[in-house]
Homo-oligomer: A and B are copies of this chain.
Amino acid sequence: MIHETIVLNKKRDVRLETYVLPCGNEFRFTEKRPAVLILPGGGYDFCSDREAEPIALAFNTKGYHAFVLRYSVGEHKTWPNPLNDYEAAMQQIKQRSTSWNIIDNNIGVIGFSAGGHLASAAATMSGEKPDAVMLGYAVTLEQAAKAMDASFPGTVEKINRGTPPVFVFASRNDPVVPIENQLAFITKLNDFHLQYEAHVYAYANHGFSLATEEMIGKNNPDICSRTPAWFDDAVTWLDDVFSGKSQAHRVSAYHDAYDPYLSVNHSLHHVLNNDEARALLSSYSDKETAFPVPGRYPLLKAMQFIGMSVEDIRSLDKGLNKIKNI
């Protein structure tokens, strides 16, 4: 393991700690690895050790390179210092991705609490977007962000089409960062038809980190038993995103809203609303007006459902690709 500390900004005490794993040789199934950049919480007053190395080691055991960023806090926390630190860290990682054996476009970011605010800003406001983002009991609402520092922006309103897939986990009764921060964030992601997964646990203290005995003590009655599952869930979700699986699972509403041309990924309802597309569809099937599936179903699934052949579906898709999505 390459475990070293890289100073990114001496004046502001910004440091990147590496947990870089070996590849190749005896690890013959692993030429390169995905990576995750960890942004600990601490209310921008400090960077919590509880959300730093333990998270890095946990990702290591799943085969990920890991990095902990000690971003600007305390007297140096003025926005956009932390966001600039994040961007410097990402640039550092990308510059050295060859020597560290990092898979291109497989760099995720995870942030907790205030670090979750920074991660959500990275996902929405930065030019150095991560490929996936995981938010743990994150601050996202303007009101909550301002409570930490008047200069911190809310991130919900910054969500845009370029926001990468997001994994959200938090506790409903979080007394420090109200759960409204998560509900607002995922609702806005949903409005943009973006990809996300969300786990809101019935009860758990703020700052549970991995929710292991080491983090929360033995038999802590204030943390519900589902809570520790977030980590394994986040990793398989990240694997899905990095393997391209999540691309295949965009909702049809995304395509309806954003694609420049039609395809079989659009919703049945949307395609039937386009006269040219409707006519094309009729030439393949006379069932188009009586589909037993709801209009939000992707055309692809609807056609599979009524038994259209793979060849016909491909041909139909090519035809649709010539029709503008207006």
Contacts and interface: CB of A to CB of B under 8 A. Distances in A.
Interface in A302-323: none
B190 A201 contact: no
Contacts of A212: 63
Interface string A220-260: 01101110010001001100100001101111100000000
A131 B183 CA distance: 25
B294 A176 contact: yes
Interface string A29-71: 1100000000000000000111001100110110100000000
A49 B22 contact: yes
A172 B251 contact: yes
Contacts of A222: 249
Interface residues of A, number: 72
A63 B183 CA distance: 33
Given A186-B183, A190-B179, A197 B172 contact: yes
Interface in A4-34: 21-22, 25-27, 29-30
A49 B24 CA distance: 11
A199 B198 contact: yes
Nearest to A46: B26
A50 B28 CA distance: 10
A22 B27 CA distance: 28
Interface string A193-210: 001111111110000000
Q: Which of A203, A236, A250 has most B Cβ within 10 Å?
A: A203
B296 A178 contact: yes
B213 A202 contact: no
A197 B190 contact: no
A202 B249 contact: yes
A200 B27 CA distance: 25
Contacts of A21: 53
A298 B58 CA distance: 32
Contact of A297 (B26, B50, B61, B176): B176
Nearest to A207: B26
A201 to B, nearest CB: 6
Nearest to A250: B173
The 8 A-B residue pairs with the shortest CB-CB distance, nearest first, are: A203-B249, A197-B202, A175-B297, A198-B200, A26-B49, A63-B214, A173-B251, A3-B3
14 contacts: A1-B3, A3-B3, A27-B50, A29-B218, A57-B57, A173-B249, A175-B267, A175-B293, A175-B297, A176-B293, A197-B200, A197-B201, A203-B246, A226-B236
